[in-house]
Structure 1
């Protein structure tokens, strides 16, 4: 808070994100007025200049300055609040500003905060596995759910109730659990009405995008609108997809699971049919080709 002895012009520059247009607000401060700087969300700069222009009439000074327009951020349509919308000033910030030091900069909320109580999107499996509508089987060790974005006609996930973040967190004491997950996955295949004409694979992504260990049980038709790009395809048809039996063998032999360096590069490999290995230029072309392998 400052007390001014002469009229000045105050120019406030607020910058929320580099790609969002900057907002300017110019205010004339009259002698004797107190200035409070209130900003809890956005970095800003303040410029003070002495007012050398012709003084405005009393009527003009009583007119409020025009507030900057609210702007929509790109892509999500969310509103960015202008500083004029701030309703109160925290007492702690008043003390900081009264001693001459600038108010602390506040960074925009992280992506993980935007989803509220649900947490970051990578934690979504922990929510889905508790949803009775998603569950197709459960026992005291594991639960089976439908993949929310299946990459084939049949695509289930087998998840342990125990909290295990990734393959790297697995140890030899988890071996029996993984064997049980394998058995449950095999049962899902046996109960599938199309098991007699479709083949299945059971395995893990070497570097999963979702937190919490989960075993994929997926039919090899890959006939799904959710399979949309090269990353989707290569994550199930290259060594990025680690067979369940291989993971169990690593635990038995080494007591841990090792992911090879450069595994992420496998997602960038050319599109190749997983059956005849013929290269395809695009996902639409690949899907057309896959139809030739589908059982009649």
Structure 2
């Protein structure tokens, strides 16, 4: 694992096709502490931590939000979870499956989307993300009730748990294989 714990740096040279709305891709995102970087991912400390530890696991390739992940992104997504788990094992060896639910929040703020809540009726859900670049929040020991409300494990309309996202992507991949490559829209809209 490579790391940079020095002074603030920007996220780097933006890709040619970087969206205007993405401060991370455009190189204007300030990184004060980099815990990990490889050819696909970077892990940084959140500038406004919501707990004892608050990391952001981010792909270097632009993906706008969790809603934009597809089954083709499964290898990258699994790598994001593996890096998260490696860092947790190093920094929190006492975090066991028994204590994990109470101490760990791992997931994503939800992007804009249409959802079916009552049969065929669709509702538009607006963005609840501030950085329009996919980032997995990894929060250990949330420090107050107000901050825990920003990362609610109980409200998946606002915050998608990392395990739920993995299941959705695996279900979509299975549906694609079953249907011979057609789009798995019905599975995705159920998240």
Fold match by TM threshold 0.5: yes
Give yes or no for contact 2:153–2:161 (8 Å, CA) kept in 1. Answer: no
Q: TM-score, normalised by structure 1?
A: 0.40
Partner of 1:235: 151
Over 3 Å counting, the alpha-carbon distance change for 1:193 and 1:128 in structure 2 is: farther
Q: Indicate whether 1:214 and 2:135 are aligned.
A: yes
Which 5+ residue runs of structure 1 have no aligned equivalent?
Answer: 1-118, 262-296
Give yes or no for contact 2:110–2:159 (8 Å, CA) kept in 1. Answer: yes
| In 1, Cα distance between equivalents of 2:161 and 2:28 | 24
Deviations 1:217-259 (A, max 9, x none): 111x3216xx756xx6143333232221211221121257846
Question: Of the two, which has the highest radius of gyration?
Answer: 1
| In 1, Cα distance between equivalents of 2:52 and 2:81 | 20
- 1:149, distance to aligned residue in structure 2 (A): 0.6
Which 5+ residue runs of structure 2 have no aligned equivalent?
Answer: 1-18, 112-128, 174-183
Give yes or no for contact 2:105–2:151 (8 Å, CA) kept in 1. Answer: no
Which aligned runs of 4 or more in structure 1 are off by greater than 6 angstroms? none
| In 1, Cα distance between equivalents of 2:82 and 2:93 | 19
SS at match of 1:159: strand
Give yes or no for contact 2:53–2:139 (8 Å, CA) kept in 1. Answer: yes
Partner of 2:16: none
Q: Indicate whether 1:171 and 2:87 are aligned.
A: no
Deviations 1:171-199 (A, max 9, x none): 11101100000000111111115744873
Give yes or no for contact 2:66–2:134 (8 Å, CA) kept in 1. Answer: yes
Alignment counterpart, residue 200 of structure 1, candidates 93, 104, 114: 104
Q: TM-score, normalised by structure 2?
A: 0.59
Partner of 1:138: 37
Q: Which has the higher contact order (CA 8 A, sep 6+)?
A: 2
| In 2, Cα distance between equivalents of 1:189 and 1:218 | 10
RMSD (CA atoms):
3.1
| In 1, Cα distance between equivalents of 2:171 and 2:78 | 15
Q: Indicate whether 1:159 and 2:58 are aligned.
A: yes
| In 2, Cα distance between equivalents of 1:184 and 1:248 | 15
| Count of residue pairs brought into register by the alignment | 136
| In 2, Cα distance between equivalents of 1:186 and 1:235 | 19
